[in-house]
A and B are shown apart, each in its own frame.
Chain A
Amino acid sequence: MGTSTESKLRIQLKEWLKVISELIYPEPPVCIVCKTAITTRAHIPMELAKSNLSGKVCNACFGKLEFILDSYCTVCGRSIRCDDAESQFCQDCSSDNQRYFVSNRAAVAYNEAIQDIIHRLKYRGQRELADLLAAIAHNAFKYYYQDIHIDIIIPVPLHVDRLAERGFNQAAMIGNKLAADLQIPIDTTSLQRVLHTPKQSKKTRWDRIQPLDGVFVYRDQQSDQQREQQTNQLESPLSNKSVLLLDDIYTTGTTVDACAKVLKAAGAANVYVLTLAR
């Protein structure tokens, strides 16, 4: 058997030794992404030092992320060139398609670096990356939605089967941290995905923009007691509330749009969407 034959005492001693040596000679922080030590000698760009990511990522990994800051599409948040000062829409959104959400904002553009991080969290189960993504989401929220009052955060749900397979919902993981930081309540149970759809990542673009009808439902999870306390019993818990919908990647917007549709039908006043990548 591959079990270790160390006695309990020896294990305890080792762990005490680790704690003490950590006090005397603290190890430098390690970049969550590439696991190399973050040295303070190297020049750290101003944006990194000021943001809440300092000490969590190294310069190289920070540099690979393309933050969307200046010009972006007001609908879907995609980064667009600012030479066309008039148009504030990107190619996808300039056609007149109705969206159920007010706007989507993304923290970074979808490039190889962010794809790698998200993949490692989702498919390889490297849960420590959720902290990093939550910090990025926090920054994006402060940048774009600072002035908007959000009543509740709802992450895009996974189907029960998929959740069982992966063990966690990455959007919910990030959402929980974000909710704790922003002191906004979060609801991970009411919005449910009832149809098991094949992974969006495996579809062609045409397949992805087909509407996802009937995939999401909003099931009121309040207990009877809570319902009785409501002043107007006809109202749903979402009535006139502003919702922040959270997802990891916005590709065509079909998923978040379907969720927004359901949320609005359940009474939400406005649905704002925040994604990590666009």
Chain B
Amino acid sequence: MNPFRMRYTVYRTLGAYYFSPDISIDIEYWNTQHNNKSIDVQEGMDIHAAASIEIVLENATISQAYQLCVQKNGGQRLDGQDLPKDILQLQALMVEILGNRRLTLPELISATSSTLNLDDALEYAIQVLYLQQKINIQPAIQHDRNGRLYCMRCLQSAAVVSHDCGGCQQECYVCTACAAYGEARSCIPIVELTVQAHSQLLTSQSESNQSKYNQSQSNQPESNQLDYELSINSAIAPIYPHPLSADQQEASDRICGIVSNGNNALIWAVCGAGKTELIFQAIANVRFEAKNVLIATPRKDVVFELLPRLQKAFPKDSVHAVYGGSSDKHIKAGLTIATTHQLLRYQNRAFDVVIVDETDAFPYAGNQMLHEHVHRVGKQFVYMTATPDKHIFAQIQADCTVTLFSRYHKYPLPEPKWIMCSSIEAAGFDKLACRIKQCIDIANPIDKFSNSEPSLSSVFMKVLASVPNKGVTMIFVPSIAQGKRLQKLLEDNLSEDISLTFVYADDPQRIEKIAALREGRYQLIITTTILERGVTIPDSHVIVVDAHHPVFTKSTLIQIAGRVGRTVEHPDGQVIFLGKYLTKQIKAAIGEIKEINRFARRI
């Protein structure tokens, strides 16, 4: 049976409301609970209709009424021995897969069985789990307190529309915002483990891990499994790739202090200060207390970059990455690294400590939804950024901000130069002069004069000449169109042996080009803002074209400037901002970098 066709109905018994796909299962359950006295069961409406009417049970709506009845009848469980073994196994598997996540029922079923097929055993196992109060089942679209429909998965209301549903054959609601993750309709249930089930899971797991640990101590086998709780028993000290500088050590100690007090922390560290290493000790301490940690980052690229570093730092701990397209998303690990989009599938307060990387970046900024999700899934937060804004400061208590303004190698941040450049292409007198120069000593000067291709403006040429030849020059452009224009201009006007390319977010060869960039195969690379963060290219210089464009905010410019001079061998480099006019953002960016350098010098 296709799980999308399971029809849940709401029924009422013993003064409370329950959901069920098949009343007979529930009737059997209630009868065994009450020694076979026949219980009155009144069948009610379809699950998705429950989303649109308010069943008032002591001033609570249907989902809350359901929670109430869980509390009222708490503690009643079907004895383990009553169920056949295969059902028990199925249940254990489903609980393990569910973990600290919140999935739609079809997602859970397809993760449990390799075929998306719901046989009777599976349906029975799920419903009994529900009746045993180990899992919560709710319709994916519900009413909030004000009567608005919202989607339980992405928590948005604006995108919920009603549609003629091919699944339940009626008019029901669907959330078009998170449709990319799979259908979220009011006729599809969302499932998560209850608090009760979590604590049961933890005790049983630590018992089994204790025995596994004892066994491994005696046998000393080479185990590659992600043993979640095994790590508690080994004292964790992180392994640093290179020893921390005095500033870093001090910052790291302060962070550990703030985290252990249970407060949220803000780490304001400049680009290239070694932010990631600062949190290792704090992570180690938290893991020692058997709490789980999440590192949330905006982009997949950063996940790939962080995963091996964290695995090396915590070799005995379980480190797992979750991102769009990853397999085994259900593996529960002590340290999870995930893109923010994946957080839609996690429960509230699923993680004890959430480390939020690049707080100011896309997709948080302006994307309220993802911001909400990051905060929904954690209990305690550590924010990391090089360019904080005033909103962040408002959220942090006094004394909970740790700053690190000096780079690891102690050299100051390269200070950007501002040069006014009205256009990259030659125009006006410039163009005239260029053409005349080109036409001297040629066979057909008139022809060449009128037909020559656009050339570079003298300002731009001077800037290009001022940048040293060795190393990589990154040229940032505000838009893809501009980038393509510039690429053509440079290809036409520069000598053949300068290798150049253009990379942007939707570039199909993006990954290869960035890999080639790291290997030093390009001398010039034109890029949009995708390379503004996370990338470390030794011996690089940066030119920002059209820096007056609104896409270059102060944070963006500071991040771009931070690409330069990150390694000990090449601690300095040129950073040049070119633009038609000096905007507030450019001034503020240059000002802040100079201020940070001044501050770092005084220490």
Contacts and interface: CB of A to CB of B under 8 A. Distances in A.
Contact of A161 (B4, B146, B148): B4
Contacts of B180: 124-126
A125 B154 CA distance: 15
B167 A163 contact: yes
A7 B179 contact: no
A213 B536 CA distance: 58
B66 to A, nearest CB: 14
Nearest to B181: A124
Contacts of B431: none
A253 B150 CA distance: 42
Given A125-B176, A164-B4, A3 B163 contact: no
Contact of B376 (A2, A163, A165): A2
Interface residues of A, number: 24
Nearest to A3: B144
B148 A165 contact: no
Contacts of A3: 144-145, 150, 155
B366 interface: no
Nearest to A8: B146
A158 B166 CA distance: 10
B86 interface: no
Contacts of A164: 2, 4-5, 166-167
B275 interface: no
Interface residues of B, number: 29
Contacts of B147: 8
B94 interface: no
B54 to A, nearest CB: 14
Interface in B142-177: 144-148, 150, 155, 157, 161, 163-167, 174, 176
A179 B372 CA distance: 43
Nearest to B508: A112
B166 A126 contact: no
Contacts of B144: 1, 3-4
B346 to A, nearest CB: 12
Interface string A214-243: 000000000000000000000000000000
A167 B106 contact: no
Interface string B116-133: 100000000000000000
Nearest to A120: B180
A166 B166 contact: yes
B163 A165 contact: no
B183 interface: yes
Given A3-B145, A127-B163, A127-B176, A167 B155 contact: no
Contact of B179 (A5, A11, A125): A125
Given A11-B146, A160-B5, A165 B174 contact: no
B185 interface: yes
Given A124-B180, A167-B174, A161 B166 contact: no
Contacts of A1: 144, 348
Contacts of A128: 176
Contacts of A5: 145
B343 to A, nearest CB: 12
B166 A163 contact: yes
A166 to B, nearest CB: 7
B148 A167 contact: no
Contacts of B106: 165
A125 B174 contact: yes
B285 to A, nearest CB: 30
A6 interface: yes
Contacts of B116: 165
Interface in B338-384: 348, 372-373, 376
Nearest to B372: A2
A99 to B, nearest CB: 29
Which of A8, A163, A167 has most chain B Cβ within 10 Å?
Answer: A167
B2 A11 contact: no
A168 B176 CA distance: 13
B166 A168 contact: yes
A7 B146 contact: yes
Contacts of B164: 168
Contacts of B179: 124-127
A118 to B, nearest CB: 15
A7 to B, nearest CB: 7
Nearest to B182: A125
A4 B143 CA distance: 11
Contact of B148 (A11, A125, A160): A11
A105 B180 CA distance: 31
Interface string A243-267: 0000000000000000000000000
6 contacts: A8-B146, A11-B146, A160-B5, A165-B116, A167-B183, A169-B166
Interface of A: 1-8, 11, 124-128, 158, 160-161, 163-169
Interface of B: 2, 4-5, 106, 116, 144-148, 150, 155, 157, 161, 163-167, 174, 176, 179-180, 183, 185, 348, 372-373, 376
Please name the 5 residue pairs, one residue from A and one from B, whose CB atoms are nearest each other, closest first.
Answer: A125-B179, A2-B155, A164-B4, A163-B166, A3-B144
Given A2-B376, A168-B166, 19 more contacts: A2-B373, A3-B145, A4-B146, A4-B150, A5-B145, A8-B146, A124-B180, A125-B174, A125-B176, A125-B183, A127-B161, A127-B179, A158-B166, A160-B5, A163-B166, A165-B116, A167-B166, A168-B164, A168-B165
